Amino acid sequence: MRVAISLLFVALSAASLRAQAPPSAAIAIDVAEIQKVLATITAAQGDQQIRVVDMGRYNLAVGVLHRSKTADTPGAPINGLVHTQVTETYVILSGAGTLVTGGTLANPRAFPADNEVVTTLAGPSNAGAIQNGAMQPVKAGDVIIIPAGVPHGWTNVPDHVDYLSVRPDQDKVLPAGYVHPTLRK
């Protein structure tokens, strides 16, 4: 019994060492870093986490995303995602399109636990066709808050849309201390 209690004490002590105090100084992500990470996105749509910071009671992630021109078919389903634990705030950097939010996902498919979307980008998530979502045209300078559990996806992107995603993570499912590989010194 003493050994079990000692092991529990060691485990709890180790866990408390891993929990960080909130930062005591501002953390800057400059435009050059954003552009450097954005340049790593080579697919028609991509999402790259820039940093995940342990803020004490929660983690805060900042990512950059790119969506290319969409090939929309009138009446066709619009595919989207739902992040079950992480809220996102989009800050549109350039381009424009229509963000579809709300409604429900038809036949949602969970991302595998080892998928980068789950492990690094946005925590547990599902994908599927959005049903009965609201359409919101967006352009550079707009800010959109998408609560955890709300379906979201893109349509009517005439050229591209690049945007930051600020992700408060109250459940700490994202990896605190993460820095995009191109920014590691």
The pLDDT tens digits of the residues spanning 71-88 come to: 888 888 899 999 999 999
pTM over 0.75: yes
Asked if pLDDT for residue 6 goes beyond 60, the answer is no
Name the band, by pLDDT with cuts 50, 70 and 90, for residue 20.
Answer: low
* Averaged pLDDT for residues 41-49: 88
* Averaged pLDDT for residues 94-106: 97
Rounded mean pLDDT of 98-127?
95
Nearest to 116 by CA among 18, 57, 40, 39: 40
pLDDT band at 2 (very low <50, low <70, confident <90, very high): very low
Q: Is the pLDDT of residue 33 over 80?
A: yes
Share of the chain above pLDDT 90, in %: 79
Neighbours of 128 (CB within 10 A): 19
pLDDT of residue 17: 43
* List of residues 6+ apart from 87 with CB closer than 8 A: 145, 146, 147, 148, 167, 168
Sign of the C-alpha dihedral, residues 25, 174, 63, 170?
negative
> Does the structure show a pLDDT above 80 at 14?
no
CA separation for the pair 165, 121 (Å, rounded): 10
Give me the domains of the chain, ranges plus CATH numbers: 27-183 (2.60.120.10)
Read off the pLDDT band of 23 (50, 70, 90). Answer: confident
